[in-house]
Amino acid sequence: MKGWLPTILRGMLLLVLIAFLVAPESFEPLLKPLVQPGAPVIYNQGSLLDLTILHLRTVFIATLVATVVAVFLAILVTRPFGLEFLPLSRSLVNIGQTFPPVAVLALAVPAVGFGEKPTLIALFLYGLLPIFENTLTALTNLPRSVMEAARGAGMTGFQRLVQVELPLSLPVVVAGIRLSTVISLSTATIGSTVAARTLGEVIIAGLQSNNLAFVLQGGLIVGALAVLIYDGLVAVEAILTRRVHSI
């Protein structure tokens, strides 16, 4: 029973989240004590479902591009011809951690304008480091016996990469993607300060109108998404790990 409890709780959280996004007015009695008399209880300046979808889309695009770039750089610097680029690559992926996301947004707006683009740039830069470091660690700590067996079988460098190195590294790479995604989910809320359509709109509207219910709605949706996506990627990581150990 104990083993099933976390799964049951996650399922309940998912059902509550879906119910709230589809019919938020049903939860009005629970949130009404948090607002002043006459103030709206449920966010009324847009659809919570639409904002959630747009929020997830922004995070997905930024994480996908960050994954492609970070994995490519990690592969590059673990090849004999690319070792000299390791310091440069580390400097590039650390840019997002050097500057706060707000500073990146401020620098990006003059170049690309307001909206989703500066948010994507900030999330992309912020998401590079965990994916790059995890991929680099995985590729440089592969079992020596497996690599020697692959060379002994006559595999080319590209064949070893595609058929041996990347499959064995996948669990650790997914762990980096998991961390990057969770960071981006929360960080994306600040994109609304530069007119990006994210759940940050709900939080900002609540702060501007002193409406705690709005703030709670935006924060809880982002928190629920982070928990569910984190757990989903943990499950994927566990499946990949079992497959690697069975090889």
DSSP for 163-220, please give it: IIIHHHHHHHHHHHHHHHHHHHHHHGGGGGGGT--STHHHHHHHHHTT-HHHHHHHHH
Quick check: is 68 in a domain?
yes
Domain range for 91: 40-246
Quick check: is 231 in a domain?
yes
Where on the phi/psi map is residue 106: left (φ > 0), alpha (ψ -120 to 50), or beta? alpha
Quick check: is 234 in a domain?
yes
Structure tokens at 233: 């990627």
Quick check: is 237 in a domain?
yes
Q: Please report, in tens digits, the pLDDT of each residue of the chain (247 residues total).
A: 556 777 888 899 999 999 999 999 999 999 999 998 888 999 999 899 999 999 999 999 999 999 999 999 999 999 988 889 999 888 888 887 787 888 888 888 888 889 889 999 999 999 999 999 999 999 999 888 888 888 888 888 889 999 999 999 999 999 999 999 999 999 999 999 898 999 999 999 999 999 999 999 999 999 999 999 999 999 999 998 888 777 6
Q: Look up the CATH number of the domain holding residue 78.
A: 1.10.3720.10
d(CA 24, CA 1): 32
Residues with Cβ within 8 Å of 97's Cβ and at least 6 positions away in sequence, in order, are 126, 129
Quick check: is 31 in a domain?
no
The number of folded domains in the chain is 1
Do 124 and 66 contact (CB within 8 A), yes or no? yes
Structure tokens at 171: 């669990």
pTM for the structure as a whole: 0.91
**DSSP3 helix / strand / coil % (the chain, rounded to 5):** 85, 0, 15
Quick check: is 27 in a domain?
no
Q: What is the DSSP letter of 164?
A: I
Quick check: is 123 in a domain?
yes
Quick check: is 24 in a domain?
no
